[in-house]
Structure 1
Amino acid sequence: SETPAVRKRVDLYQGDMRSFDLGKTYPLVVIPFRAFQHLIDVKDQRACLECCRDHLTRQGRLVINLFDPNLRILAANLEVNATAVRKVGEVDVGDGERVVAYSTRTSCPEEQRFEEEWIYERFAADGRSLWRQARKFSLRWFGRYEMEHLFELCGLEVEKLEGGFKGQPYQHGGEQIWTVKKA
């Protein structure tokens, strides 16, 4: 946990990123964890970017993290049976119990999106299933130039595009870390 002085400088809000009015502007607005990619429709994407722009100070910056679509992985996913369930992780939670994560993916290249279902199951030490939860979500992928055009359409100017959280150069199939400002 951060000190009270640090916490006082940060505002965290939970709400709809397509439609918000916080009543003030900020020098930095961040959309982390690829959250923007949950906006499937262009109308929603534009609404979000325009709200963010309206909440930036004159010299403010908007930082957005996206994954860059890796064409080899996307092509391979088209070949995979959409109903195939794959194990993606397992965690020992103590006392011999464990949680196993599985996922399935259906790709829709015409819409640049995929739908995933993540299934979490907790097992007792003797192997019995204690509970099972499933979560579905859709993600849209964006190419570099598509994002540049979307920013321009929304009155934003690209300051830089980086390929990682430590300032690495952008490269295909990695991260897209965008820093943009008001145009």
Structure 2
Amino acid sequence: MSSFDAFARFYHADYGSFCDDLPFYRALLRRAAGPAIELMCGSGRLLTPLVREGFNVTGVDISPALLAQAKRNLDAAGIGVGMQLQLGDVRQPLSGDPYAAAFVAINSFMHLATVEDQLAALRHTHAALRPGGLLALDLFNPDPVDLLRHDNELVLDKMFALDDGTLVQKFVAQAVDMATQTSSVTFIYDELADQLVRRTTLAFSMRWLYRYELEHLLARCGFVLEALYGSYNLDAYDQSSPLMLAVAVSV
């Protein structure tokens, strides 16, 4: 069982309303003009609107529970029939015909916490793309000062409601290791109902990347970095950018 299966109950309620990146991926797929694959697709936050708009997108994730949630979301939108959802590990070969584009949204690539895992995922993605295929990676832009500001602090991140109306408090803590470029992250979800608190805890590691480290990884796996943006509005990347949004081409 994937460690993220327990997270599936909260994932869509937590992240499902985020759509700031949708115009970027819509433009990417229009440019690619062919079938695409979303790696580490989660509950289908992006898949659902993109497929609804007519794009041919396959979703891959390692968590059966998250894929089941994605299927429910697609079915609820009336677009689940014939939709390609694959249970798979991006560190292993990907199935399907050559794709015109691949993308990994909102920091998901950072769950690959070793160089070996990162290279494996990029190499298998390259093998799954047609020549000239596009790859987009949305990554956190690391700021050492900001990372250390809340090191080992437990912070109330947000409050939201599940589909059944249950109120959830989400707390986040992270322990930062600057030498290994990793954050040991803990999500705590407290469900508040009937004067009781039901707690679910998820612990995982994330490894951040720096600009030229990313470019080097891509080059080792057959990609050329075409553009690096600092926002979904395609602002130029600089040290103050909130994110690193990379677009690479398979060669």
- For the criterion TM > 0.5, the same-fold answer is yes
Q: When you count strand as a share of all residues, which structure comes out higher?
A: 1
Report the TM-score range of the alignment, normalised by the length of the smaller protein. Answer: 0.7 to 0.9
2:138 aligned with 1:65, yes or no?
Answer: yes
Provide structure 1 residue ranges, at least 5 long, that are not aligned to the other structure. Answer: none
Instruction: Mark the CA change 1:5 to 1:103 in structure 2 (over 3 Å): closer, same or farther.
Output: closer
2:54 aligned with 1:6, yes or no?
Answer: yes
The code of the aligned residue for 1:13 comes to V
Instruction: Report the Cα offset of residue 95 of structure 1.
Output: 10
Instruction: Report the Cα offset of residue 118 of structure 1.
Output: 0.8
Instruction: Report the Cα offset of residue 91 of structure 1.
Output: 2.6
1:1-183, aligned counterparts within 5 Å? Answer: 6=54, 9-14=56-61, 15-77=88-150, 80=151, 82=152, 84-91=153-160, 98-124=167-193, 128-173=195-240, 174-183=242-251
Instruction: Report the Cα offset of residue 145 of structure 1.
Output: 0.8
Q: Percent identity?
A: 26
**CA deviation string 1:61-115 (max 9, x = no partner):** 11111011012202324xx4x2x32211123569995211112211111110011
Distance 1:106 1:16 in 2: 26
Work out which structure has the larger RCO, using CA pairs closer than 8 Å and 6 or more positions apart in sequence: 1
Q: When you count helix as a share of all residues, which structure comes out higher?
A: 2
Question: What TM-score, normalized by structure 1, do the two folds share?
Answer: 0.86
Distance 1:10 1:138 in 2: 28
Distance 1:96 1:40 in 2: 35
User: Is contact 2:188-2:199 (8 Å) kept?
Assistant: yes
The code of the aligned residue for 1:103 comes to V
The code of the aligned residue for 2:249 comes to K
Question: What TM-score, normalized by structure 2, do the two folds share?
Answer: 0.64
**CA deviation string 1:115-139 (max 9, x = no partner):** 11111112236xx224111111111
Q: What's the C-alpha RMSD, in Å, of the aligned pairs? A: 2.3
Query: In terms of Rg, which structure is larger?
Result: 1
Instruction: Mark the CA change 1:137 to 1:179 in structure 2 (over 3 Å): closer, same or farther.
Output: same
The code of the aligned residue for 1:165 comes to Y
Instruction: Mark the CA change 1:132 to 1:27 in structure 2 (over 3 Å): closer, same or farther.
Output: same
Q: SS state of the match for residue 52, structure 1?
A: helix
Distance 1:60 1:47 in 2: 18
Provide structure 2 residue ranges, at least 5 long, that are not aligned to the other structure. Answer: 1-47, 62-87
The code of the aligned residue for 1:41 comes to T
Instruction: Mark the CA change 1:97 to 1:32 in structure 2 (over 3 Å): closer, same or farther.
Output: closer
User: Is contact 2:98-2:128 (8 Å) kept?
Assistant: yes
